[in-house]
Structure 1
Amino acid sequence: MELKNIRKGFSNEEEVLKGISLAIEKGEFITLLGSSGCGKTTTLRIIAGLEMPDAGQVFLDGKDVTALNPEDRDVNTVFQNYALFPHMNVADNIGYGLRLKKVPRTEIRRRVKEMLELVQLPGYEKRKPSELSGGQKQRVAIARALINNPRVLLLDEPLGALDLQLRRAMQVELKRLQKKLGITFIYITHDQEEAINMSDRIAVMNHGTFEQIGTPDEIYNHPRTSYVATFVGNANILKGVAGATENGKVAVNISGGHIQADSHNETIRPGEKVTLAVRSENIRIDEECSCGLSAVVTEKTFAGGLLRVVLKLTDGTELVASRYGIDARVQQGQTVSVCFAPEDAVLVDRDAVREGGEA
């Protein structure tokens, strides 16, 4: 599937989608990740044919399907609210789409049985939706979508209504189903953990554009923008001025202190303003480290064995260090030195610098 320069706006509102393009491989599990209002649901509805774009095209297997009705696209959708028919039992809910296509009853029964085994609900044929748990309802909704053998399955925050433990179990189950069937899954969520755990690739959305598209490793460990760095995981954003670059390391002046960061093969001029993202788990606190940044401990809390230390640099910038094994003797009000390995400092917002803007 491919989206080409999709634009969409609604009356009296800013454009919701601002010319997005995305190529999705056959059999890929790709997640559209972003906060509420970023445009991910509108994107999904355009793929499904429930919304028409103002401009751009949607291709499925090389065919332009932009103008096709939803029922004429080989695409099915699973919604967060399940959308099961309450008066129908499980078997009738799952087989509903096949009945509309006038598939023979014996074939419907056979395929419904296969679907129930696939989603691990054999023997539930006669139950009504009211007799099912949230996780069971979600499995029935997925089976109903899969029974038509769609080329693409769209999943609109399907696990959002489940509790944490069940949601994690269903993440594993969905990934298992997707790999077994080889169907392309396009999944939308605002949950970063879900996206990282399940996806082959993640497209991080922000204000109607894709901030970054990449594998979970690329998105987490090599964010290209400060938005991606802070939205996916917990990253500290540090602004400074570059000094000399030597042996792939660039010296950076931050808050009156000097640290080194990996240049990651970027060309950085001395005196250039740079922005670094450093994950909270990579922040080190060392009272005797002379090469770090001076900071004052403003807060120290424990959560499930994890120590979270909030630090304030001399220019007022706040950092969060969060990891197992940080010295618990660090006290609020104490002045410490903050360090991190050069390779853990990722240069972000470089596109803005290359385009002539400020980082």
Structure 2
Amino acid sequence: MAEKCLELKDIRKSFSKDEVVLKEISLSIDKGEFITLLGSSGCGKTTTLRIIAGLEAPDSGKVYLEGKDVTALAPEARDVNTVFQNYALFPHMTVADNIGYGLKLKKIPKAEIKKRVSEMLELVQLPGYEKRKPSELSGGQRQRVAIARSLVNNPKVLLLDEPLGALDLQLRRAMQLELKRLQKKLGITFIYITHDQEEAINMSDRIAVMNHGTFEQIGTPDEIYNHPKTSYVATFVGNANILKGTAQESEGEILKVSLAGEKVSVASESHKITPGSPVTLAVRSENLIFDENCQSGLEATVVEKSFAGGLLRVVLKLSDGTEVVANRHGIDAGVQPGQKVTCHFDAENAVLVDLPSETESGAAV
């Protein structure tokens, strides 16, 4: 069983009587895990990070670091470091002085500081940059220096608050790989904040999707993407169509659902759904197949089509007025707005979401 590194227990935080930012959230993180807090602006992810760092105090709840209650400890008394989006480097200091600043405050001998700074520069692939100033570095190089400065103290946890947000797309993707490489090499627990779903999926061991101060779902990238528990997770991570229907009979682990005047099949897994109950399905855009020859399936009308990155995006309107999106590879399908088509999806590609037992926020392991 993996050893726990950090635990949040029933953390609540409000900045006013009417503004509850965190609603009794709980989270358990293993040693050496790369976990991402993913969510839109205002969901509570930065406040969660600041509480872990000791920069904010929770109204109630506890923060444990390797089993020790650190809730009341000052930031400098916690074995936790933070990398910020704006790097927060001292412009008048050299790269070496920036990296070694924390060691100097701890009165580490100069020879030891020089040795550890040199090791960090090797680690972030910046040897020979010791005497440069931050203004003489590129954005990616400044980010590496900020990471080296945070790692030189060997923290138990490294907190990263949207550290790649200021970089261009190509450099951002290169730094994603670099960060993951560093994390695996050092075995340090990383807690990463982003609103970028692709970044979270590419880098994380687990993702905690936040919404309005709660965890909507916590799981591996595969669980979050392919098995979302709520319509919010399904639409925030990737592109999913949310469809409303009525449960019919079950056949083993296949549930028949009445939808837009037709009957479709959904993998119900272990869920027990009462016939006649309203149900919500999430179907990824890439899993919605449309047929120009009007064979069996859900009747639909093409609303519009567009192209993006080698994908054809087709907006369809079902017979009940619901608009859905189907993506497929290629530059054209020959369909035109106003054309009648049918669409369908495989049972295993339709996920039941927003079930009563799944939408409750609570402790997460």
Does the 8 A contact of 2:229 with 2:358 survive in 1? no
* Distance in structure 1 (CA, Å) of the matches to 2:59 and 2:311: 48
Moved over 6 A (4+): none
Does the 8 A contact of 2:294 with 2:340 survive in 1? no
Is 1:87 aligned with 2:92? yes
Partner AA of 1:214 in structure 2: G
* Distance in structure 1 (CA, Å) of the matches to 2:220 and 2:259: 31
Aligned to 1:198: 203
With the length of structure 2 as denominator, give the TM-score of the two structures: 0.95
Is 1:295 aligned with 2:285? no
Aligned to 1:241: 246
Does the 8 A contact of 1:258 with 1:291 survive in 2? no
- How many pairs are equivalent? 355
* Distance in structure 2 (CA, Å) of the matches to 1:21 and 1:352: 17
Does the 8 A contact of 2:216 with 2:359 survive in 1? no
Q: CA deviation at 1:291?
A: 3.7
Is 1:169 aligned with 2:174? yes
Equivalent residue in structure 2 for 1:278, among 274, 283, 295: 283
* Distance in structure 1 (CA, Å) of the matches to 2:272 and 2:195: 34
* Distance in structure 2 (CA, Å) of the matches to 1:354 and 1:167: 34
Q: CA deviation at 1:13?
A: 3.7
Q: CA deviation at 1:255?
A: 1.5
* Distance in structure 2 (CA, Å) of the matches to 1:162 and 1:312: 38
Aligned to 1:160: 165
Is 1:60 aligned with 2:65? yes
* Distance in structure 1 (CA, Å) of the matches to 2:117 and 2:310: 47
Aligned to 1:117: 122
Is 1:75 aligned with 2:80? yes
Q: CA deviation at 1:327?
A: 6.1
Does the 8 A contact of 1:39 with 1:205 survive in 2? yes
Query: What does residue range 172-191 of structure 1 map to in structure 2 within 5 Å?
Result: 172-191=177-196
Partner AA of 1:235 in structure 2: A
- RMSD, aligned CA: 1.3
Does the 8 A contact of 2:10 with 2:25 survive in 1? yes
* Distance in structure 1 (CA, Å) of the matches to 2:226 and 2:16: 39
Aligned to 1:328: 333
Deviation string 1:183-229 (CA, Å, 9 cap, x unpaired) is 00000000000000000000000000000000000000000000000
Q: CA deviation at 1:263?
A: 1.0
* Distance in structure 1 (CA, Å) of the matches to 2:53 and 2:358: 37
Does the 8 A contact of 2:95 with 2:134 survive in 1? yes
Query: Which stretch has the larger CA shift, 68-77 or 246-255?
Result: 246-255
Is 1:316 aligned with 2:316? no
Query: Which stretch has the larger CA shift, 41-50 or 250-259?
Result: 250-259
Segments of structure 2 that go 5 or more residues without pairing to the other structure are 1-5, 361-365
Q: CA deviation at 1:323?
A: 1.8
Query: Which stretch has the larger CA shift, 179-188 or 307-316?
Result: 307-316
Does the 8 A contact of 1:90 with 1:126 survive in 2? yes
* Distance in structure 1 (CA, Å) of the matches to 2:358 and 2:36: 28
Q: CA deviation at 1:253?
A: 1.0
> Structure 1 residues 247, 12: CA separation in 2 closer, same or farther (over 3 Å shift)?
closer
Partner AA of 1:18 in structure 2: K
Matched position secondary structure for 1:15: strand
Does the 8 A contact of 2:34 with 2:191 survive in 1? yes
Aligned to 1:22: 27
* Distance in structure 1 (CA, Å) of the matches to 2:139 and 2:50: 24
Segments of structure 1 that go 5 or more residues without pairing to the other structure are none
* Distance in structure 1 (CA, Å) of the matches to 2:220 and 2:194: 16
Q: CA deviation at 1:352?
A: 5.8
Equivalent residue in structure 1 for 2:142, among 132, 137, 144: 137
Larger RCO of the pair (alpha carbons < 8 Å, separation 6+): 2
* Distance in structure 2 (CA, Å) of the matches to 1:10 and 1:291: 55
Aligned to 1:344: 349
Does the 8 A contact of 1:297 with 1:311 survive in 2? yes
* Distance in structure 2 (CA, Å) of the matches to 1:214 and 1:52: 27
With the length of structure 1 as denominator, give the TM-score of the two structures: 0.97
Does the 8 A contact of 2:229 with 2:359 survive in 1? no
Deviation string 1:145-201 (CA, Å, 9 cap, x unpaired) is 000000000000000000000000000000000000000000000000000000000
Aligned to 1:151: 156
* Distance in structure 1 (CA, Å) of the matches to 2:89 and 2:278: 54
Does the 8 A contact of 2:258 with 2:264 survive in 1? yes
Aligned to 2:3: none
Partner AA of 1:181 in structure 2: L
Q: CA deviation at 1:259?
A: 1.1
* Distance in structure 2 (CA, Å) of the matches to 1:240 and 1:306: 28
Does the 8 A contact of 2:301 with 2:317 survive in 1? yes
* Distance in structure 2 (CA, Å) of the matches to 1:221 and 1:291: 26
Equivalent residue in structure 2 for 1:7, among 8, 12, 15: 12
* Distance in structure 1 (CA, Å) of the matches to 2:293 and 2:253: 26
Aligned to 1:107: 112
* Distance in structure 1 (CA, Å) of the matches to 2:80 and 2:181: 20
